[in-house]
Structure 1
Amino acid sequence: MVNKGKTPGKDKFDKFRINEEIDSATVRLVGEEGEPAIIETSKALEMARERSLDLVEITANQDPPVVKIIDYSKFIFEQVKKAKEAKKKQKVIHVKEIKLRPAIDNNDFHHKINNARSFLEKGDKVKFTLMFRGREMVHPELGFEVMDRIQEALKDCAIPEKSPAQEGKNITMIMNPSNPKKA
């Protein structure tokens, strides 16, 4: 069910206790200048009411809890705004996987390289998985040669994060973009 009239993401900031919800006998009041003073909760509530503001518990896990005299709705608005800014600055890194075989044709190889180049230009990592089947495992050096060709073809736009390594019937390698796209 949708909560009408509520700011999205605001409910995670409901953890702050205000005014009469603060059940401690004494509190550490931090003023605008930043100097903390330990006073009774009733006095702090009185000071908040005189200024027509709220007594907001900032840190509950200290003894006594830290409180501030501020406008609660403005405080929550600032908290939501900071959370949105932090979320906006996060960058998700995708890992794209390209699978190939040791006996790959030139056209197929160039097509895979072009796909990898487009992924790298977008800022994504690319994982190359070279799969062996049956008796191809007798010649793993063919797989490492293909991986060397890939590194050579992409040396202008990528750097290897993980050099080619054999894992069972596969050889894997991860390439990072050499100049990641700015978000």
Structure 2
Amino acid sequence: MAHFKGKRRYSRFPQKKVRLHRLNEEITAPEVRINAVGEIEAGIYPTTQVIAWAKEMGVDLVEIVAKAQPPVCRLIEYQKFLYEKKKKDKEQKAKTVKQVLKEIRFGPNTDEHDFNFKLNHAKKFLEEGAKIKAYVHFKGRSIAYKEKGEVILLRFASELEEFGKVEMLPKLEGNRMFLYMAPLSMKKKKKKTTSAPTVKEKKEKREKEKETEAKSEVENEESTDK
């Protein structure tokens, strides 16, 4: 016997949307905590009293945090509350930045030019806020030279210490050795720029001071001879 599928019936009446918050008399807790509104101070009050205030003010008593003891509520028009919440959620979503992961590949015999080329790209990626997954790919018998790969990745991390921090040291997985780096936060970058001078900078400063002292001595001798 053949079976025929009947046409799907659609209701002429739109389905009601389920509210996520309880309002007014729907709130069953005997007491609620409310925000300060007008002459009403923030605090804990009997629910019936707050509902009466809401009716006098022409607003709703909206349950915000139902699991709190007592529940946290607001005296506000529900539609206005939804509008403010939607606007706030949209702003927070716009502020959240998706973390991008950039891959940089090396070989165990990567030459100096190729290394520096990829290093410059890595600096740019870290400055833009992206994470880096650098790896050395070993083909065939080149896996015997895994020490070379470790040297390349450690040098790579050392060259980038002003731009990022190491999240995972070189680790061999199959025929690849991985290194993960994350960008430095703005606070850490500022600390780096205002950090104490290096040994090289101190040495150069001393040499300049000696040169200026020597010049001043020569000038003094010439003036005394005259």
What corresponds to 1:93 in structure 2? Answer: 99
What is the 5 A alignment of 1:9-158? Answer: 14-19=19-24, 22=26, 24=28, 26-28=30-32, 30=34, 32=36, 33-40=41-48, 44-61=50-67, 65-158=71-164
Q: Is the 2:135–2:153 Cα contact (8 Å) retained in structure 1?
A: no
What corresponds to 2:204 in structure 1? Answer: none
Q: Give CA deviations for 1:94-134 in whole Å, capped at 9, x if unaligned.
A: 22111221122333222222221221121211110111121
Q: Is the 2:29–2:71 Cα contact (8 Å) retained in structure 1?
A: no
Q: Is the 1:137–1:169 Cα contact (8 Å) retained in structure 2?
A: yes
Question: Structure 2: which 5+ residue stretches go unaligned?
Answer: 1-16, 190-226
Q: Is the 1:157–1:179 Cα contact (8 Å) retained in structure 2?
A: no
Matched residue count:
168
Q: Is the 1:96–1:127 Cα contact (8 Å) retained in structure 2?
A: yes
* Length-normalised TM-score, structure 2: 0.61
Structure holding more strand per residue: 1
* Length-normalised TM-score, structure 1: 0.73
Indicate the SS of the match to 1:139: helix
For residues 106 and 123 of structure 1, what CA distance do their matches in structure 2 show? 26
The two structures, once aligned, show a CA RMSD in angstroms of: 3.0
Identity %: 35
Distance 1:54 1:155, change over 3 A: closer
Paired residue type of 1:28: V
For residues 128 and 141 of structure 1, what CA distance do their matches in structure 2 show? 16
Q: Is the 2:135–2:179 Cα contact (8 Å) retained in structure 1?
A: yes
Structure possessing the higher relative contact order (Cα contacts under 8 Å, 6 or more residues apart): 1
Distance 1:158 1:52, change over 3 A: closer
What corresponds to 1:167 in structure 2? Answer: 173
Q: Is the 2:27–2:63 Cα contact (8 Å) retained in structure 1?
A: no
Question: How big is the shift at 1:180?
Answer: 5.0
